[in-house]
Chains A and B, each alone.
Chain A
Protein backbone atom coordinates (compact mmCIF):
# COMPACT_ATOMS: atom_id res chain seq x y z
CA UNK A 1 0.00 0.00 0.00
CA UNK A 2 1.22 3.51 -0.75
CA UNK A 3 -0.34 6.91 -0.13
CA UNK A 4 -2.39 8.33 -2.99
CA UNK A 5 -2.53 12.03 -3.80
CA UNK A 6 -5.46 12.60 -1.46
CA UNK A 7 -3.56 10.99 1.42
CA UNK A 8 -0.52 13.15 0.77
CA UNK A 9 -2.40 16.44 0.46
CA UNK A 10 -4.52 15.60 3.50
CA UNK A 11 -1.36 14.95 5.51
CA UNK A 12 0.13 18.30 4.56
CA UNK A 13 -3.19 19.93 5.46
CA UNK A 14 -3.13 18.33 8.93
CA UNK A 15 0.42 19.56 9.45
CA UNK A 16 -0.58 23.09 8.54
CA UNK A 17 -3.80 23.15 10.52
CA UNK A 18 -2.71 21.30 13.65
CA UNK A 19 0.88 22.46 14.05
CA UNK A 20 1.86 25.41 11.89
CA UNK A 21 -1.23 27.65 12.12
CA UNK A 22 -1.37 27.53 15.97
CA UNK A 23 2.37 28.22 16.12
CA UNK A 24 1.93 31.24 13.87
CA UNK A 25 -0.94 32.88 15.73
CA UNK A 26 1.36 35.58 17.10
CA UNK A 27 2.15 36.64 13.53
CA UNK A 28 -1.31 37.02 11.97
CA UNK A 29 0.05 37.61 8.49
CA UNK A 30 1.84 34.26 8.38
CA UNK A 31 -1.07 32.45 10.01
CA UNK A 32 -3.32 33.80 7.28
CA UNK A 33 -0.91 32.59 4.60
CA UNK A 34 -0.92 29.12 6.16
CA UNK A 35 -4.71 29.09 6.17
CA UNK A 36 -4.83 30.04 2.50
CA UNK A 37 -2.32 27.25 1.77
CA UNK A 38 -4.69 24.81 3.50
CA UNK A 39 -7.51 26.12 1.35
CA UNK A 40 -5.48 25.53 -1.81
CA UNK A 41 -4.70 21.97 -0.76
CA UNK A 42 -8.42 21.33 -0.29
CA UNK A 43 -9.04 22.82 -3.73
CA UNK A 44 -6.43 20.49 -5.22
CA UNK A 45 -7.99 17.47 -3.52
CA UNK A 46 -11.41 18.30 -4.98
CA UNK A 47 -10.15 19.30 -8.43
CA UNK A 48 -7.73 16.48 -9.13
CA UNK A 49 -10.05 13.44 -9.34
CA UNK A 50 -12.27 15.09 -11.97
CA UNK A 51 -9.67 17.19 -13.78
CA UNK A 52 -9.27 14.88 -16.79
CA UNK A 53 -13.04 14.64 -17.20
CA UNK A 54 -13.38 18.42 -16.92
CA UNK A 55 -10.70 19.05 -19.54
CA UNK A 56 -12.19 16.41 -21.84
CA UNK A 57 -15.62 18.00 -21.52
CA UNK A 58 -14.16 21.42 -22.35
CA UNK A 59 -12.27 19.91 -25.28
CA UNK A 60 -15.49 18.46 -26.71
CA UNK A 61 -17.30 21.77 -26.21
CA UNK A 62 -14.52 23.73 -27.92
CA UNK A 63 -14.44 21.40 -30.92
CA UNK A 64 -18.22 21.43 -31.30
CA UNK A 65 -18.33 25.22 -30.97
CA UNK A 66 -15.56 25.81 -33.47
CA UNK A 67 -16.98 23.27 -35.94
CA UNK A 68 -20.30 25.12 -35.87
CA UNK A 69 -18.56 28.46 -36.28
CA UNK A 70 -16.59 27.24 -39.31
CA UNK A 71 -19.84 26.51 -41.11
CA UNK A 72 -21.24 29.90 -40.09
CA UNK A 73 -18.17 31.96 -41.01
CA UNK A 74 -17.10 30.40 -44.29
CA UNK A 75 -19.61 31.96 -46.69
CA UNK A 76 -19.64 35.44 -45.20
CA UNK A 77 -16.50 37.35 -46.05
CA UNK A 78 -12.91 36.80 -47.23
CA UNK A 79 -11.70 37.34 -43.68
CA UNK A 80 -14.31 34.95 -42.37
CA UNK A 81 -13.38 32.34 -44.96
CA UNK A 82 -9.68 32.67 -44.11
CA UNK A 83 -10.27 32.27 -40.39
CA UNK A 84 -12.75 29.44 -41.00
CA UNK A 85 -10.09 27.63 -43.03
CA UNK A 86 -7.52 28.12 -40.26
CA UNK A 87 -9.91 26.84 -37.61
CA UNK A 88 -10.94 23.90 -39.78
CA UNK A 89 -7.29 22.98 -40.38
CA UNK A 90 -6.64 22.95 -36.65
CA UNK A 91 -9.73 20.82 -36.02
CA UNK A 92 -8.65 18.39 -38.75
CA UNK A 93 -5.22 17.79 -37.23
CA UNK A 94 -4.79 14.20 -36.20
CA UNK A 95 -4.88 13.94 -32.44
CA UNK A 96 -4.62 11.17 -29.93
CA UNK A 97 -7.88 10.14 -28.42
CA UNK A 98 -8.70 12.42 -25.50
CA UNK A 99 -8.91 9.52 -23.09
CA UNK A 100 -5.31 8.50 -23.80
CA UNK A 101 -3.91 12.04 -23.65
CA UNK A 102 -2.08 13.29 -20.60
CA UNK A 103 -3.51 16.19 -18.62
CA UNK A 104 -0.87 18.72 -19.58
CA UNK A 105 -1.19 17.96 -23.30
CA UNK A 106 -4.98 18.15 -23.13
CA UNK A 107 -4.81 21.43 -21.23
CA UNK A 108 -2.44 22.82 -23.87
CA UNK A 109 -4.76 21.73 -26.69
CA UNK A 110 -7.69 23.39 -24.99
CA UNK A 111 -5.68 26.58 -24.61
CA UNK A 112 -4.93 26.55 -28.36
CA UNK A 113 -8.60 26.03 -29.21
CA UNK A 114 -9.62 28.77 -26.77
CA UNK A 115 -7.17 31.01 -28.60
CA UNK A 116 -9.08 30.28 -31.80
CA UNK A 117 -12.32 31.25 -30.06
CA UNK A 118 -10.62 34.55 -29.17
CA UNK A 119 -9.64 35.03 -32.82
CA UNK A 120 -13.20 34.41 -33.94
CA UNK A 121 -14.39 36.88 -31.29
CA UNK A 122 -12.00 39.53 -32.66
CA UNK A 123 -13.28 38.93 -36.19
CA UNK A 124 -16.88 39.26 -35.02
CA UNK A 125 -15.99 42.48 -33.19
CA UNK A 126 -14.49 43.87 -36.40
CA UNK A 127 -17.85 43.26 -38.09
CA UNK A 128 -19.94 44.34 -35.11
CA UNK A 129 -21.27 47.40 -36.94
CA UNK A 130 -22.84 45.25 -39.65
CA UNK A 131 -26.57 45.66 -40.04
CA UNK A 132 -28.81 43.67 -37.69
CA UNK A 133 -29.63 40.29 -39.11
CA UNK A 134 -26.22 40.03 -40.76
CA UNK A 135 -25.18 36.40 -41.19
CA UNK A 136 -22.31 36.68 -38.68
CA UNK A 137 -24.90 37.00 -35.94
CA UNK A 138 -25.29 33.23 -35.99
CA UNK A 139 -21.58 32.82 -35.29
CA UNK A 140 -21.82 35.45 -32.52
CA UNK A 141 -24.67 33.51 -30.91
CA UNK A 142 -22.65 30.29 -31.10
CA UNK A 143 -19.62 31.94 -29.49
CA UNK A 144 -21.67 33.67 -26.80
CA UNK A 145 -23.35 30.40 -25.87
CA UNK A 146 -19.90 28.82 -25.52
CA UNK A 147 -18.71 31.74 -23.36
CA UNK A 148 -21.62 31.16 -20.98
CA UNK A 149 -20.77 27.47 -20.65
CA UNK A 150 -17.10 28.37 -20.19
CA UNK A 151 -17.97 30.88 -17.45
CA UNK A 152 -20.10 28.26 -15.71
CA UNK A 153 -17.15 25.83 -15.73
CA UNK A 154 -14.84 28.51 -14.30
CA UNK A 155 -17.39 29.32 -11.62
CA UNK A 156 -17.64 25.66 -10.68
CA UNK A 157 -13.84 25.63 -10.15
CA UNK A 158 -14.18 28.66 -7.88
CA UNK A 159 -16.89 26.87 -5.90
CA UNK A 160 -14.42 24.05 -5.23
CA UNK A 161 -12.45 26.49 -3.10
CA UNK A 162 -15.31 26.43 -0.63
CA UNK A 163 -15.32 30.19 -0.12
CA UNK A 164 -18.44 32.26 -0.62
CA UNK A 165 -17.98 35.47 -2.55
Chain B
Protein backbone atom coordinates (compact mmCIF):
# COMPACT_ATOMS: atom_id res chain seq x y z
CA UNK B 1 0.00 0.00 0.00
CA UNK B 2 1.28 3.47 -0.84
CA UNK B 3 2.43 5.76 1.94
CA UNK B 4 -0.44 8.17 1.20
CA UNK B 5 -3.05 5.44 1.62
CA UNK B 6 -1.47 4.16 4.80
CA UNK B 7 -1.46 7.70 6.17
CA UNK B 8 -5.16 8.08 5.35
CA UNK B 9 -5.86 4.82 7.16
CA UNK B 10 -3.89 5.97 10.20
CA UNK B 11 -5.69 9.31 10.39
CA UNK B 12 -9.10 7.68 9.88
CA UNK B 13 -8.45 5.47 12.90
CA UNK B 14 -7.23 8.42 14.96
CA UNK B 15 -10.07 10.78 14.06
CA UNK B 16 -12.82 8.18 13.96
CA UNK B 17 -13.90 9.30 10.54
CA UNK B 18 -13.07 8.46 6.95
CA UNK B 19 -10.13 10.74 6.14
CA UNK B 20 -9.11 11.59 2.59
CA UNK B 21 -5.46 12.57 2.07
CA UNK B 22 -4.75 14.75 -0.98
CA UNK B 23 -1.94 16.93 -2.36
CA UNK B 24 0.52 14.55 -0.72
CA UNK B 25 4.09 15.56 -1.67
CA UNK B 26 7.52 15.09 -0.21
CA UNK B 27 9.25 18.37 0.46
CA UNK B 28 12.84 19.05 -0.52
CA UNK B 29 15.27 19.69 2.29
CA UNK B 30 14.33 18.46 5.76
CA UNK B 31 17.76 16.93 6.22
CA UNK B 32 17.04 15.28 9.55
CA UNK B 33 13.56 13.89 8.79
CA UNK B 34 11.52 13.13 5.72
CA UNK B 35 8.98 15.90 5.42
CA UNK B 36 5.68 15.54 3.52
CA UNK B 37 2.96 18.14 3.02
CA UNK B 38 -0.65 17.05 2.60
CA UNK B 39 -4.28 18.07 2.99
CA UNK B 40 -6.70 15.97 5.03
CA UNK B 41 -10.48 16.09 4.66
CA UNK B 42 -13.06 14.41 6.90
CA UNK B 43 -16.56 14.78 8.27
CA UNK B 44 -16.96 15.96 11.86
CA UNK B 45 -20.22 16.78 13.62
CA UNK B 46 -22.05 17.03 10.33
CA UNK B 47 -19.60 19.37 8.63
CA UNK B 48 -16.62 18.89 6.35
CA UNK B 49 -13.24 19.71 7.84
CA UNK B 50 -10.26 20.35 5.58
CA UNK B 51 -6.86 21.03 7.06
CA UNK B 52 -3.25 21.20 5.88
CA UNK B 53 -0.72 19.03 7.69
CA UNK B 54 2.96 18.19 7.71
CA UNK B 55 4.21 14.65 8.23
CA UNK B 56 7.71 14.35 9.71
CA UNK B 57 8.89 10.76 9.39
CA UNK B 58 12.18 9.30 10.65
CA UNK B 59 14.56 8.78 7.75
CA UNK B 60 16.52 5.63 6.96
CA UNK B 61 19.65 7.72 7.47
CA UNK B 62 20.23 11.44 7.84
CA UNK B 63 22.71 14.15 8.69
CA UNK B 64 21.30 14.40 12.18
CA UNK B 65 20.21 11.63 14.49
CA UNK B 66 17.58 13.28 16.63
CA UNK B 67 14.73 12.33 18.92
CA UNK B 68 11.29 12.82 17.39
CA UNK B 69 9.63 12.61 20.83
CA UNK B 70 11.76 15.51 22.02
CA UNK B 71 10.85 17.58 18.96
CA UNK B 72 7.15 16.80 19.40
CA UNK B 73 7.10 17.65 23.11
CA UNK B 74 9.08 20.86 22.68
CA UNK B 75 6.83 21.96 19.79
CA UNK B 76 3.82 21.23 21.99
CA UNK B 77 5.31 23.36 24.75
CA UNK B 78 6.29 26.18 22.36
CA UNK B 79 2.74 26.37 21.04
CA UNK B 80 1.35 26.40 24.57
CA UNK B 81 3.72 29.24 25.49
CA UNK B 82 2.50 31.38 22.59
CA UNK B 83 5.68 31.10 20.56
CA UNK B 84 5.08 31.02 16.79
CA UNK B 85 5.45 27.30 16.11
CA UNK B 86 3.33 24.65 14.40
CA UNK B 87 0.62 22.94 16.45
CA UNK B 88 1.43 19.25 16.76
CA UNK B 89 -1.30 16.66 16.30
CA UNK B 90 -0.10 13.05 16.51
CA UNK B 91 3.09 11.32 17.65
CA UNK B 92 3.53 7.72 16.53
CA UNK B 93 6.49 5.77 17.86
CA UNK B 94 5.50 2.45 16.30
CA UNK B 95 6.93 1.60 12.90
CA UNK B 96 3.77 -0.33 12.00
CA UNK B 97 1.60 2.40 10.45
CA UNK B 98 4.17 4.09 8.16
CA UNK B 99 7.26 1.83 8.38
CA UNK B 100 9.12 4.28 10.62
CA UNK B 101 8.16 6.48 13.60
CA UNK B 102 6.73 9.89 12.75
CA UNK B 103 4.71 12.82 13.97
CA UNK B 104 2.14 15.04 12.32
CA UNK B 105 1.67 18.75 12.82
CA UNK B 106 -0.67 21.35 11.37
CA UNK B 107 0.66 23.25 8.40
CA UNK B 108 1.29 26.95 9.01
CA UNK B 109 0.78 29.50 6.25
CA UNK B 110 3.98 31.13 5.07
CA UNK B 111 6.95 30.82 2.78
CA UNK B 112 10.32 29.31 3.63
CA UNK B 113 13.61 31.04 2.86
CA UNK B 114 16.92 29.48 1.88
CA UNK B 115 19.57 29.18 4.63
CA UNK B 116 20.35 32.87 4.20
CA UNK B 117 17.63 35.44 3.72
CA UNK B 118 17.39 36.10 -0.04
CA UNK B 119 19.47 39.12 -1.02
CA UNK B 120 16.92 40.12 -3.66
CA UNK B 121 13.99 40.65 -1.24
CA UNK B 122 12.90 44.25 -0.51
CA UNK B 123 14.78 46.03 2.28
CA UNK B 124 11.60 46.82 4.27
CA UNK B 125 10.64 43.17 4.18
CA UNK B 126 14.08 42.15 5.43
CA UNK B 127 13.84 44.70 8.26
CA UNK B 128 10.53 43.21 9.42
CA UNK B 129 11.92 39.68 9.28
CA UNK B 130 15.04 40.77 11.20
CA UNK B 131 12.88 42.34 13.91
CA UNK B 132 10.68 39.25 14.23
CA UNK B 133 13.70 36.91 14.09
CA UNK B 134 15.26 38.57 17.12
CA UNK B 135 12.02 39.19 19.02
CA UNK B 136 10.98 35.55 18.76
CA UNK B 137 14.43 34.42 19.90
CA UNK B 138 14.17 36.69 22.94
CA UNK B 139 10.68 35.25 23.55
CA UNK B 140 12.04 31.69 23.42
CA UNK B 141 14.83 32.55 25.85
CA UNK B 142 12.46 34.34 28.21
CA UNK B 143 9.56 31.85 28.27
CA UNK B 144 8.75 29.69 31.27
CA UNK B 145 9.61 26.34 29.70
CA UNK B 146 10.03 24.71 33.08
CA UNK B 147 6.25 24.92 33.52
CA UNK B 148 5.78 22.65 30.50
CA UNK B 149 6.66 19.18 31.83
CA UNK B 150 9.94 18.98 29.97
CA UNK B 151 11.70 17.21 32.84
CA UNK B 152 13.21 14.71 30.41
CA UNK B 153 15.50 17.49 29.21
CA UNK B 154 18.73 17.81 31.14
CA UNK B 155 19.48 21.26 32.54
CA UNK B 156 23.19 21.90 33.01
CA UNK B 157 22.54 25.03 35.14
CA UNK B 158 24.75 28.09 35.49
CA UNK B 159 28.52 28.11 35.05
CA UNK B 160 30.53 26.41 32.32
CA UNK B 161 28.59 23.11 32.35
CA UNK B 162 26.35 24.10 29.41
CA UNK B 163 29.32 24.93 27.20
CA UNK B 164 31.25 21.86 28.33
CA UNK B 165 28.28 19.56 27.62
CA UNK B 166 27.73 21.09 24.19
CA UNK B 167 31.38 20.62 23.24
CA UNK B 168 31.39 17.04 24.55
CA UNK B 169 28.17 16.25 22.64
CA UNK B 170 29.50 17.39 19.27
CA UNK B 171 32.96 15.97 19.89
CA UNK B 172 31.39 12.56 20.46
CA UNK B 173 29.43 12.83 17.20
CA UNK B 174 32.57 13.92 15.35
CA UNK B 175 34.53 10.96 16.71
CA UNK B 176 31.71 8.55 15.94
CA UNK B 177 31.09 9.65 12.35
CA UNK B 178 34.41 10.87 10.95
CA UNK B 179 35.89 8.69 8.25
CA UNK B 180 39.41 10.09 8.67
CA UNK B 181 41.26 12.57 10.91
CA UNK B 182 40.38 16.24 10.49
CA UNK B 183 43.18 18.27 12.12
CA UNK B 184 41.31 21.58 11.73
CA UNK B 185 38.36 20.21 13.69
CA UNK B 186 40.75 18.74 16.29
CA UNK B 187 42.33 22.20 16.59
CA UNK B 188 38.87 23.71 17.02
CA UNK B 189 37.85 21.27 19.75
CA UNK B 190 41.06 22.13 21.62
CA UNK B 191 40.29 25.85 21.23
CA UNK B 192 36.75 25.31 22.55
CA UNK B 193 38.00 23.43 25.61
CA UNK B 194 40.28 26.36 26.44
CA UNK B 195 37.59 29.03 25.98
CA UNK B 196 34.55 27.60 27.80
CA UNK B 197 32.28 30.53 28.74
CA UNK B 198 30.21 30.62 31.92
CA UNK B 199 26.53 31.52 31.81
CA UNK B 200 24.51 33.17 34.56
CA UNK B 201 21.61 30.86 33.87
CA UNK B 202 20.25 28.45 31.31
CA UNK B 203 17.24 28.92 29.05
CA UNK B 204 15.58 26.91 26.33
CA UNK B 205 17.93 26.87 23.34
CA UNK B 206 16.25 26.26 19.98
CA UNK B 207 19.43 24.66 18.67
CA UNK B 208 18.90 25.44 14.97
CA UNK B 209 17.77 29.07 15.01
CA UNK B 210 18.59 30.52 11.60
CA UNK B 211 17.22 31.69 8.30
CA UNK B 212 15.82 28.71 6.43
CA UNK B 213 14.09 27.44 9.56
CA UNK B 214 11.14 29.82 9.64
CA UNK B 215 8.14 30.67 7.49
CA UNK B 216 7.24 34.26 6.70
CA UNK B 217 4.27 36.05 5.14
CA UNK B 218 4.30 38.41 2.17
CA UNK B 219 5.27 41.34 4.40
CA UNK B 220 8.24 39.49 5.87
CA UNK B 221 6.67 38.75 9.26
CA UNK B 222 7.63 35.37 10.63
CA UNK B 223 4.62 33.06 10.99
CA UNK B 224 6.36 30.04 12.54
CA UNK B 225 9.74 28.88 13.76
CA UNK B 226 10.44 25.33 12.62
CA UNK B 227 12.92 22.48 13.18
CA UNK B 228 13.09 22.17 16.95
CA UNK B 229 14.77 18.75 17.05
CA UNK B 230 17.99 20.08 18.60
CA UNK B 231 16.21 22.05 21.36
CA UNK B 232 17.71 21.77 24.83
CA UNK B 233 18.42 23.78 27.97
CA UNK B 234 21.67 25.67 27.68
CA UNK B 235 23.38 29.02 27.34
CA UNK B 236 21.19 31.46 25.34
CA UNK B 237 24.39 32.65 23.63
CA UNK B 238 24.37 29.30 21.83
CA UNK B 239 21.43 30.38 19.63
CA UNK B 240 23.03 33.78 19.06
CA UNK B 241 26.32 32.19 18.00
CA UNK B 242 24.59 29.74 15.66
CA UNK B 243 22.32 32.39 14.11
CA UNK B 244 25.17 34.84 13.48
CA UNK B 245 27.95 32.45 12.45
CA UNK B 246 29.61 33.11 9.09
CA UNK B 247 28.14 30.00 7.48
CA UNK B 248 24.61 31.47 7.49
CA UNK B 249 25.77 34.99 6.66
CA UNK B 250 25.29 36.75 3.35
CA UNK B 251 26.96 39.94 2.15
CA UNK B 252 28.11 40.74 5.67
CA UNK B 253 24.66 40.29 7.18
CA UNK B 254 24.13 37.73 9.95
CA UNK B 255 21.51 35.18 8.82
CA UNK B 256 21.27 37.34 5.69
CA UNK B 257 19.26 39.84 7.74
CA UNK B 258 21.41 42.51 9.36
CA UNK B 259 24.93 43.15 10.62
CA UNK B 260 25.91 41.00 13.59
CA UNK B 261 26.38 44.01 15.90
CA UNK B 262 22.92 45.35 15.02
CA UNK B 263 21.37 41.95 15.61
CA UNK B 264 23.03 41.52 19.01
CA UNK B 265 22.03 45.04 20.12
CA UNK B 266 18.47 44.37 18.97
CA UNK B 267 18.51 41.15 20.99
CA UNK B 268 19.74 43.00 24.09
CA UNK B 269 16.86 45.46 23.78
CA UNK B 270 14.28 42.72 23.16
CA UNK B 271 15.46 40.34 25.87
CA UNK B 272 16.82 42.66 28.54
CA UNK B 273 19.92 40.46 28.64
CA UNK B 274 23.49 41.61 28.24
CA UNK B 275 25.19 39.80 25.39
CA UNK B 276 28.74 38.70 26.06
CA UNK B 277 30.61 39.01 22.75
CA UNK B 278 33.24 36.44 23.75
CA UNK B 279 30.47 33.92 24.44
CA UNK B 280 28.95 34.64 21.04
CA UNK B 281 32.34 34.03 19.43
CA UNK B 282 32.70 30.76 21.36
CA UNK B 283 29.32 29.57 20.13
CA UNK B 284 30.10 30.67 16.57
CA UNK B 285 33.13 28.37 16.70
CA UNK B 286 31.04 25.63 18.28
CA UNK B 287 28.29 26.17 15.70
CA UNK B 288 30.75 25.85 12.85
CA UNK B 289 32.16 22.67 14.38
CA UNK B 290 28.61 21.40 14.88
CA UNK B 291 27.81 22.05 11.22
CA UNK B 292 30.97 20.16 10.28
CA UNK B 293 29.98 17.24 12.53
CA UNK B 294 26.49 17.20 10.98
CA UNK B 295 28.00 17.09 7.50
CA UNK B 296 30.30 14.23 8.52
CA UNK B 297 27.27 12.31 9.83
CA UNK B 298 25.69 12.66 6.40
CA UNK B 299 28.85 11.53 4.65
CA UNK B 300 29.07 8.53 6.96
CA UNK B 301 25.46 7.55 6.12
CA UNK B 302 26.26 7.81 2.43
CA UNK B 303 29.56 5.94 2.54
CA UNK B 304 28.11 3.20 4.75
CA UNK B 305 25.42 2.67 2.12
CA UNK B 306 22.54 3.59 4.44
CA UNK B 307 21.47 6.44 2.19
CA UNK B 308 21.77 7.18 -1.52
CA UNK B 309 20.78 10.84 -1.24
CA UNK B 310 23.32 12.81 -3.31
CA UNK B 311 22.85 15.83 -1.07
CA UNK B 312 24.84 14.06 1.66
CA UNK B 313 28.26 14.04 -0.08
CA UNK B 314 27.53 17.57 -1.31
CA UNK B 315 27.00 18.65 2.30
CA UNK B 316 30.22 16.79 3.21
CA UNK B 317 32.19 18.92 0.78
CA UNK B 318 31.06 22.00 2.71
CA UNK B 319 33.85 21.13 5.13
CA UNK B 320 36.03 23.15 2.74
CA UNK B 321 34.17 26.32 3.61
CA UNK B 322 33.67 25.50 7.28
CA UNK B 323 37.41 24.88 7.75
CA UNK B 324 38.31 28.32 6.46
CA UNK B 325 35.64 29.94 8.62
CA UNK B 326 36.85 28.05 11.69
CA UNK B 327 40.45 29.16 11.26
CA UNK B 328 39.30 32.77 10.89
CA UNK B 329 36.99 32.60 13.93
CA UNK B 330 39.82 31.19 16.07
CA UNK B 331 42.20 33.89 14.86
CA UNK B 332 44.45 31.34 13.16
CA UNK B 333 43.94 32.77 9.69
CA UNK B 334 42.61 35.78 7.87
CA UNK B 335 38.88 36.26 7.34
CA UNK B 336 37.31 33.74 4.94
CA UNK B 337 37.19 36.26 2.10
CA UNK B 338 40.89 37.09 2.51
CA UNK B 339 41.89 33.44 2.96
CA UNK B 340 40.34 32.42 -0.35
Closest to A160 in B: B317
Chain B residues within an 8 Å CB radius of A114:
180-183
Cα A151 to Cα B324 with chains together (Å): 6
Establish whether residues A148 and B28, one from each chain, have CB atoms under 8 Å apart when the complex forms.
no
Chain B residues within an 8 Å CB radius of A122:
186, 190
Contact-residue size bin, chain A (C-beta under 8 Å from the other chain)? 35 or more
Cα A71 to Cα B155 with chains together (Å): 47
Establish whether residues A33 and B194, one from each chain, have CB atoms under 8 Å apart when the complex forms.
no
Give a binary string over A93-122; 1 marks a CB under 8 Å from any B CB, 0 the rest.
000000000000000000100110110011
A28 contacts which of B28, B320, B333 (Cβ < 8 Å)?
B28
Establish whether residues B333 and A115, one from each chain, have CB atoms under 8 Å apart when the complex forms.
no
B28 contacts which of A29, A111, A128 (Cβ < 8 Å)?
A29
With A111-B180, A117-B181, A122-B190 known as contacts, the answer to whether A151 contacts B327 (CB < 8 A) is yes
Establish whether residues A125 and B190, one from each chain, have CB atoms under 8 Å apart when the complex forms.
yes
Closest to A107 in B: B180
With A28-B28, A32-B28, A117-B183 known as contacts, the answer to whether A151 contacts B320 (CB < 8 A) is yes
Cα A162 to Cα B136 with chains together (Å): 36
> Is B27 in the interface zone, CB < 8 Å from A?
yes
Closest to A120 in B: B183
Chain B residues within an 8 Å CB radius of A121:
183, 186-187, 190
Most chain A beta carbons < 10 A, residue from B25, B314, B326: B314
Total A-B pairs in contact (CB under 8 Å)? 108
Establish whether residues B321 and A158, one from each chain, have CB atoms under 8 Å apart when the complex forms.
yes
> Is B310 in the interface zone, CB < 8 Å from A?
yes
> Is B313 in the interface zone, CB < 8 Å from A?
yes
Cα A165 to Cα B247 with chains together (Å): 8
Chain A residues within an 8 Å CB radius of B340:
152, 155
Query: How far does the Cβ of A90 sit from chain B's closest Cβ, in whole Å?
Result: 13
With A148-B327, A150-B323, A151-B339 known as contacts, the answer to whether A33 contacts B186 (CB < 8 A) is no
Cα A5 to Cα B212 with chains together (Å): 37
> Is B332 in the interface zone, CB < 8 Å from A?
yes
Chain B residues within an 8 Å CB radius of A27:
25-26
Cα A71 to Cα B318 with chains together (Å): 34
> Is A85 in the interface zone, CB < 8 Å from B?
no
A112-144 at interface with B (beta carbon < 8 Å): 114-115, 117-118, 121-122, 124-125, 128, 143-144
The count of residues in chain B whose C-beta lies closer than 8 Å to any C-beta of chain A is 33
> Is B319 in the interface zone, CB < 8 Å from A?
yes
> Is B184 in the interface zone, CB < 8 Å from A?
yes
A39 contacts which of B187, B194, B310, B332 (Cβ < 8 Å)?
B310
Chain A residues within an 8 Å CB radius of B326:
151
Query: How far does the Cβ of B167 sit from chain A's closest Cβ, in whole Å?
Result: 13
> Is A147 in the interface zone, CB < 8 Å from B?
yes
Chain A residues within an 8 Å CB radius of B319:
154, 158
Query: How far does the Cβ of B144 sit from chain A's closest Cβ, in whole Å?
Result: 39
Cα A160 to Cα B180 with chains together (Å): 21
Establish whether residues B309 and A33, one from each chain, have CB atoms under 8 Å apart when the complex forms.
yes
Establish whether residues A150 and B184, one from each chain, have CB atoms under 8 Å apart when the complex forms.
yes
Query: How far does the Cβ of A49 sit from chain B's closest Cβ, in whole Å?
Result: 18
> Is B193 in the interface zone, CB < 8 Å from A?
yes
Chain A residues within an 8 Å CB radius of B28:
28-29, 32
Could you list 4 further interchain pairs (A-B, Cβ under 8 angstroms) beyond the known A111-B180, A125-B194?
A118-B186, A144-B327, A148-B333, A150-B184
What are 29 pairs between A and B in contact, CB < 8 Å?
Answer: A27-B25, A28-B25, A29-B25, A29-B27, A33-B309, A36-B309, A36-B310, A39-B310, A39-B314, A114-B180, A115-B181, A118-B181, A118-B182, A118-B183, A122-B186, A125-B194, A147-B183, A147-B187, A147-B332, A148-B333, A148-B339, A150-B184, A151-B327, A151-B333, A154-B319, A155-B320, A156-B320, A158-B320, A161-B314
Question: Which residues of B approach A to under 8 Å, CB–CB?
Answer: 25-28, 180-184, 186-187, 190-191, 193-194, 309-311, 313-314, 317-321, 323-324, 326-327, 332-333, 339-340
The 6 closest A-B pairs by CB, nearest first: A158-B320, A125-B190, A154-B320, A36-B310, A151-B323, A29-B26
Question: Which residues of A approach B to under 8 Å, CB–CB?
Answer: 27-29, 32-33, 36-37, 39-40, 43, 111, 114-115, 117-118, 121-122, 124-125, 128, 143-144, 146-148, 150-152, 154-159, 161, 163, 165
